Amino acid sequence: MLEFLWTSFVEPLSQQSFQKALIGGSLVATVCAVVGCYIILRRMAFLGDALSHAMLAGVVAGYLLMHLIFDVEAHALAMFVGSIIAGVITVLLIGFVSQVTRIKEDTAIGIMYTGIFAFGGILASYFSDRIHLDLYHFVTGMVLGVNDSKLWLMAIVAALVLSVVILFFRQLQITSFDPIMAASIGIPVVLFDYLLTICTSLVVVSAVQLVGVILVVGLLVTPAATAYLICDRLHRMQILAAVFGVTGVTGGLYVSTWIGNIATGPSIVLVITLQFVVVLLVAPRYGLIADWLRRTRLVPQRVIEDIMRSLLKADPAPLSIEKIIEYVEATSDQIHKSLRKLTLQDLISNGGGQLALTDKGRQESRKILRAHRLWETYLSHVGTPEEQLHGRAHNLEHLHDEETVDYLDDKLGHPLVDPHGAAIPEDFVHLVPGTVVKSAILREGRSGTIESVPDELERKLQVGSRVTAGPRRDNGRTWTFVLESGEEITLDHHGADAVEVRLDEE
Amino acid sequence: MDQITNRTIPAVEVENLTVSYGPQPALLDISFDVPQGTLVGIIGPNGSGKSTLIKAILGFKKPDVGEVRLFGESVERARGRVAYVPQHGSVDWEFPVTVREVALMGRYGNVPWWRDLSAEDKLCADEALEMVRMSEFAKRQIGQLSGGQRQRVFMARAMAQGADILLLDEPFAGVDAATERAILDVLRRTKEAGRTLLVVHHDLATAAEYFDRLILLKQKLYAYGPPHAVLHQELLSAVYEGRLRIFQDLPSAEDFHA
């Protein structure tokens, strides 16, 4: 066993090519992942792909220049600088075409990078007798052939890009998130766009050495996307993305040495893709399993509300679970789930199988009761036969959002009792101490200070005077209020809606 | 926030402003003054130049003719005193950023790139969150907020910025009635704290109730003043070309002058 671990994990480490590949690969994967976070948040993945292809022209041009003029073969720095220049030219051309013409940016990217890639391909094939450039490696990467000069280049790129990201973290964050706001506080947005594009070119050029042209985008976006499924803050996402990048490169290198004879580039990208799939399944909040669990745990709101209404009926006496199962129309599994949810939300308390409403729960269930009785009043108003009232209101009471209830209450003239003569709970949602409400919703005994009065009532009422609501008259159609002087005034529905009262603080 | 400003200088002065994209003018010869501490609604049909006006006040769009002054100064010099609250649809709500981080962005303009945010900046952002009652959500990712809370985060950012003028692009678009109330409440409290707000608004039915003054725009400035003077039938049907039928209840010019 120990021997197996030794041969599979430690032995490769003693090979120099593996060491270099591991160091170079980790450097490249780290910067790729960190920059990749901006790429996915700014939806620039296609640009990353474009840059990696366009650099072929730069590599060939750099090679030819050194070969034809100085007779130096495969000069790494020249090819590197060549690819950066090719990248920047591509970006400038894309920007020019998409800004000056009606061509959209993604189309401009497609046109420019294929054009420049094709130019590189023609150069490479025309001079094929003089260029000893392996296009196959350019496509699939040649990480195990990393030499010292390439390693140095990778290290310098990594240091440079990481410094930019750390120094300008705030600027890159805000220009990615809200460029308009960034510009309005004087941040040079265009400058940072170009800075980020240059960083992307640098990163892409070193990543091509690792995994080849076609797979660069994977190294750029997959670790970042994996981290995005877990993190809700940019700097954490970047750190985690770097971790996934490094584990992906390490895993990919081992896999390719174990199996032997498989290209390292694809094996690295396959490992980071597998990491993504695993995280996609198990991520705590944005993962598929978490999502599935959330949906199966869902119980119909109707069941929850029916339970609360039965508890309110019995209130303050508690009810046993058996009784609830008897009263509420639902499977016992649904009821148990609802009860758990209600307990968790602190709406009911469970004392040894006896269930009772908490204060919060009482408030919540009164809201449903209020909706029920308002719906009954409404239904009777529109001529629904008496025997159908309860059943239909029972279905409608689940529509108890604030807006609907307010609308019903106002349309019905803020009724006090429902058609069966049962009291409709007062509008406690709006009756918050210290806030301003329409005087129409005040029930007898409520008091406050007048906040605003319409012009036509200015003779009756003054802003700033205190009023206490008296009983309603004429079947609830007339509101009465008692002033501090003891004088009583009456208002109709329209008037009571127009007068605003600030409720007393508690 | 430490500038001592004469309360009588208008917060926003727009003078003969003409802005164009290509040959077509988006705004033509617009002039108006907004006094400090006013809540102003900008109304007009789609493509009437509402956002161009906002851009001109922010200094993004150079005027062909005319100028914009903020507290008597040029837009460039007053940069930082005006804050922009984006339209709901233009924000990436899945961006990995927390409520507090958004509020902190309001301070970015005051901190040079080589320095970290100071404790004072953090305090300022926390106070701004407190002001819009969002402190308890400080650690939430912005996508996990309700519509009204989302709007409040950006209000907090504008306040952390120390801006005296707030430009809001359609803050009421696509929110439910309760949220609309909550947002309006924040706008009014911001105004009462002495700030000036210019709000792009599309709902004529609520415009009169929400704003102190209205700007009615369609390339030209059709009307500017208190809502009852702006919202009458002749003006609106001229601007909207009879495309809306809800004006029937509004006073016509004769009723108004009678």
Residues of chain A contacting residue B58, judged by C-beta atoms under 8 Å apart = 180, 183-184
Answer whether residue B105 shows pLDDT above 60.
yes
What's the total number of domains in chain B?
Answer: 2
Supply the pLDDT for residue A460.
Answer: 79
Please check whether residues B133 and B153 belong to one and the same domain.
Answer: yes
Q: How far is CA A395 from CA A372, A375, A379, B136, in A?
A: 9, 10, 12, 36
Tally of CB atoms within 10 A around A391: 11
* pLDDT recorded at residue B216: 92
| Arithmetic mean of pLDDT, B104-117 | 90
pLDDT tens for each residue of A150-179? 888 889 999 999 999 999 999 999 999 999
Mean per-residue pLDDT, B204-232:
88
Task: Identify the band that residue B249 occupies on the pLDDT scale cut at 50, 70 and 90.
Answer: low
Number of H helices and E strands in chain B, helices first, is: 9, 10
| Contact at CB, B141 and A185, closer than 8 angstroms | no
Inspect the interface and report whether the beta carbons of A186 and B92 lie closer than 8 Å.
no
Q: Classify residue B178: in a domain, yes or no.
A: no
Regarding pTM above 0.80, the answer is: no
**Is residue A260 predicted with pLDDT exceeding 80?**
no
Tokens 């013409």 map to which residue? Answer: A101
> What is the mean pLDDT of the segment spanning A378-402?
79
Query: Is the bond preceding residue A471 a cis peptide, omega within 30 degrees?
Result: no
| C-beta atoms of A402 and B178 within 8 A | yes
Separation between Cα atoms, residue A217 and residue B20, nearest integer Å: 40
Domain-embedded: residue B73: yes
- Is pLDDT at A145 greater than 50 in this prediction? yes
The predicted structure's pLDDT at residue A248: 95
Q: What's the CATH number of domain A436-503, 3.40.50.300, 1.20.120.330, 2.30.30.90, 2.40.50.140?
A: 2.30.30.90
Q: Taking 50 as the threshold, does the pLDDT of residue A383 lie above it?
A: yes
In a domain, B188, yes or no: no
Dist. CA B76–CA B79, nearest whole Å: 5
Is the residue at B177 inside a domain? no
For residue B251, pLDDT over 80 is answered with: no
Specify the pLDDT at position A274: 97
Residue B125 pLDDT:
94
pLDDT at position B254, please?
45
Q: Does A238 touch chain B (CB under 8 A)?
A: no
Look up residue B29 and give its two tokens: 């010869």
Helix axes A76-100, A148-167, angle to 10 degrees: 40
- In this structure, are B104 and B124 located in the same domain? yes
Answer with the residue of higher pLDDT: A317 or A142: A317
Tell which of B75, B84, B169 to mutate to test the A interface (max A CBs under 10 Å).
B84
Residue B242 sits in the same domain as residue B226: yes
Name the DSSP class of B193: T
Interface touch B105/A174, C-beta < 8 Å? yes
Domain definitions of chain A by residue range:
2-292, 301-357, 362-411, 436-503
Q: What percent of chain A clears pLDDT 70, i.e. is strictly above it? A: 98
Q: Which of A99, A102, A181 to probe by mutation at the B interface, max B CB count within 10 Å?
A: A181
Decide if A403 touches B, using CB distance below 8 A.
yes
SS (H, E, C) A150-211: HHHHHHHHHHHHHHHHHHCHHHHHHHHHCHHHHHHCCCCHHHHHHHHHHHHHHHHHHHHHHH
Find the residue in B nearest to A286 (Cα). B94
State chain A's mean pLDDT as an integer.
86
Chain B residues close to A403, C-beta within 8 Å:
176-178
Whether B21 and chain A come into contact, CB under 8 Å, resolves to no
Where residue A372 falls among pLDDT bands split at 50, 70, 90?
confident
Chain A residues whose beta carbon lies within 8 Å of the beta carbon of residue B59: 184
Q: Which comes out higher in pLDDT, residue A52 or A273?
A: A273
Nearest to B52 by CA among B42, B38, B41: B42
Alpha-carbon gap: B58 to the closest alpha carbon of chain A (Å): 6
Please indicate, yes or no, whether residues B88 and B155 belong to a single structural domain of this protein.
yes
Query: Can you tell me the mean pLDDT for A3-12?
Result: 79
Put residue B60 in one of left, alpha, beta given phi > 0 → left and psi -120 to 50 → alpha: alpha
Q: Does residue B258 register a pLDDT over 60?
A: no
ipTM: 0.83
In terms of phi and psi (left: phi > 0; alpha: psi -120 to 50; beta: otherwise), the region of B151 is alpha
pLDDT for position A381: 82
DSSP label at residue A10: I
What's residue B243's pLDDT?
A: 57
Instruction: Calculate the CA B205 to chain-centre distance.
Output: 19
Chain A residues whose CB is inside 8 A of the B108 CB are 170-171, 174, 182, 185, 187
> Which of B142, B163, B184 is the C-terminal boundary of a domain?
B163
**Partner-chain contact A403 B176, CB within 8 Å:** yes
Angle at A29 between CA A26 and CA A32, to 5 degrees: 150
pLDDT tens string A324-355: 888 888 788 888 888 888 888 888 888 777 88
Q: Strands of A274-346 (E only): list them.
A: 319-320
- The shortest CB-CB distance from A181 to any of B59, B84, B141 is to B84
Query: Which residue in B has a C-alpha nearest to residue A186's C-alpha?
Result: B109
* Cβ–Cβ gap B84/A180 under 8 Å: yes
A133-142, A249-258, A403-412, B4-13 — which one is most confidently predicted on average? Answer: A249-258
Q: What is the structure's pLDDT at A55?
A: 85
- Per DSSP (E only), the strands in A348-478 are 348-351, 354-357, 436-438, 447-452, 466-469
Q: For residue B106, name the pLDDT band (cuts at 50, 70, 90).
A: very high
Q: What is the pLDDT of residue B256?
A: 42
Asked if pLDDT for residue A87 goes beyond 60, the answer is yes
**For residue A89, how far is the Cα from the chain centroid?**
35
* Residue numbers of the domain that contains B150: 84-163
**A297 to each of A292, A294, A385, B11, B65, how far by Cα in Å?**
9, 5, 38, 54, 62
Is residue B106 assigned to a domain?
A: yes
pLDDT of residue A109: 92
Which has more pLDDT, B175 or A162?
A: A162
Cβ-based neighbour number of residue B245 at 10 Å: 8
Any domain includes B181: no
- Using DSSP, state whether A331 is helix, strand or coil: coil
For residue B5, what pLDDT band results from cuts at 50, 70 and 90? low
Distance, in angstroms, between A176 CA and closest chain B CA? 9
Give the nearest partner residue to B79 out of A41, A174, A186, using CB atoms: A186
Identify the residue among B62, B77, B92, B97 best suited for mutation to test binding to A, counting A beta carbons within 10 A and taking the highest.
Answer: B97
What is the domain class of A2-292 according to CATH? mainly alpha
**B187 in a structural domain:** no
- Identify from B88, B105, B159 which residue to disrupt to test chain A contact, counting A C-beta atoms within 10 A and taking the largest count: B105
- The alpha-helical segments, DSSP class H, found in chain B are 50-58, 99-105, 119-131, 147-160, 177-192, 204-210, 227-230, 233-240, 253-257
Predicted confidence at residue A504, as pLDDT, reads 82
Q: Based on the domain organization, do B96 and B25 belong to the same domain?
A: no
The pLDDT of residue B1 is: 43
Are B157 and A231 a contacting pair at CB < 8 A?
no
Query: Is B2 a member of any domain?
Result: no
User: Which backbone phi and psi does B113 adopt, to 5 degrees?
Assistant: -65, -25
User: Is the pLDDT confidence value at A307 over 80?
Assistant: yes
Distance between CA B134 and CA B120 in Å, rounded?
A: 19
Was domain A301-357 assigned CATH 3.40.228.10? no
Nearest CA in chain B to A237: B96
A506 pLDDT band (50/70/90 cuts)? Answer: low
Q: Is the pLDDT of residue A76 over 80?
A: no
- State whether residue B105 sits within 8 Å of chain A by CB: yes
The pLDDT of residue B250 is: 52
Domain of B220, CATH number, reads 3.40.50.300
Which comes out higher in pLDDT, residue B76 or B34? B34
